[in-house]
Structure 1
Amino acid sequence: MSTHTEVQYQIDETGLPTPEQLAQWVNAALAERHEGGELCIRIVDKTESQHLNSTYRHKDKPTNVLSFPFEVPEGIPLDILGDLVICADVVAEEAAEQGKASKDHWAHMVIHGCLHLLGFDHINETEAEEMEALERQILAGLNIADPYR
């Protein structure tokens, strides 16, 4: 069973991943880790990304991906994972700076965000190593090179 992925484009979607590509990357990230469920991916500009990053992380700059896990109230049978907010301009800039194909970097950001929704993090070195190893494994399954090289 695949995850239902809603996609919202706050900006012109020309040249951006399609809802089908985004859903493919979501399902790759969640395979064997979470079955079914729902999540929303909102693709935004730098202004919205910076506002959300400032409001929720107290970092006054745009960022590549923000993850907002949904906390289901006890006793309510919902399977909502949460929301990902991805800044298209930051992802494009990072891909260019790092010499990566744009599509590959988008896949990495979606997978990275989905793992955050599942509770993975990279606050300390041990957690970072575990999360990065999982990202490498998922990306390799999509024939995408190690993003940390």
Structure 2
Amino acid sequence: MSVDLIIEDDRWAEAGLQVLADRACAAALAHLGLPDDAEISLLGCDDARIATLNAEFRDKPVPTNVLSWPSDDLAAEEDGARPYAPEPDLPDMPLELGDIAIAYDTCAREATEQGKAFADHVTHLLVHGTLHLLGFDHIRPQDAALMERIEVEILASMGLADPYEEDGF
């Protein structure tokens, strides 16, 4: 598992984003039984940068916590079905899963508002972003239920509480 990190906001380096990302992304892949030779590109940025990206790619000119750009569309056609398994572009090549961007300001604000440890919240968002790269989504109801259940299972395997419970971690 390789997370290629670009840090645009130095607060991410201080927060140990590389360690958090390596752990969260690897846990997501392991939970789904995927090979550990996958590659993810990660941008650690601030709210201004993610607002620009959100405007450019989603037509929403506001900050958000995390954005994902999968290399391939792996989404299932049927609501609630598992996405298609990723495959490398060429044999013996690593799986290039895509790109994730995460905003420090929004993550810090959300963690504080929700009474969660910053590292735990970021870990959840990195698992969430990784699942998006793997074709999971939360637009349709059964897809959302599947994605949430898998997030909770992955986080539990890491010793983290259910982030969707009111008393979450």
Normalising by structure 2, we get a TM-score of 0.81
Q: Highest relative contact order (Cα 8 Å, sep 6+), 1 or 2?
A: 2
Separation in 1, partners of 2:111, 2:16: 14
Structure 1 runs of 4+ aligned residues shifted over 6 Å read none
What residue in structure 2 maps to residue 114 of structure 1? 130
RMSD of Structure 2 on Structure 1 (CA):
1.8
Q: Which amino acid aligns with 2:150?
A: L
Separation in 2, partners of 1:81, 1:136: 21
- Of 125-134 and 6-15, more deviation after overlay is shown by 6-15
What residue in structure 2 maps to residue 83 of structure 1? 99
- Choose from 8, 16, 28 the match for 1:10: 8
- Of 90-99 and 17-26, more deviation after overlay is shown by 17-26
Q: Which amino acid aligns with 2:61?
A: D
Separation in 2, partners of 1:76, 1:121: 23
Separation in 2, partners of 1:91, 1:113: 13
Residue pairs, 1:1-149, within 5 angstroms: 3-12=1-10, 13-33=12-32, 34-35=34-35, 36-71=37-72, 76-77=89-90, 78=93, 79-149=95-165
Unmatched 5+ stretches in structure 2: 74-87
Percent identical pairs in the alignment equals: 39
Q: Which amino acid aligns with 1:140?
A: A
Separation in 2, partners of 1:71, 1:144: 29
- Of 14-23 and 34-43, more deviation after overlay is shown by 14-23
- How far is 1:127 from its partner? 0.8
Question: Number of aligned pairs?
Answer: 146
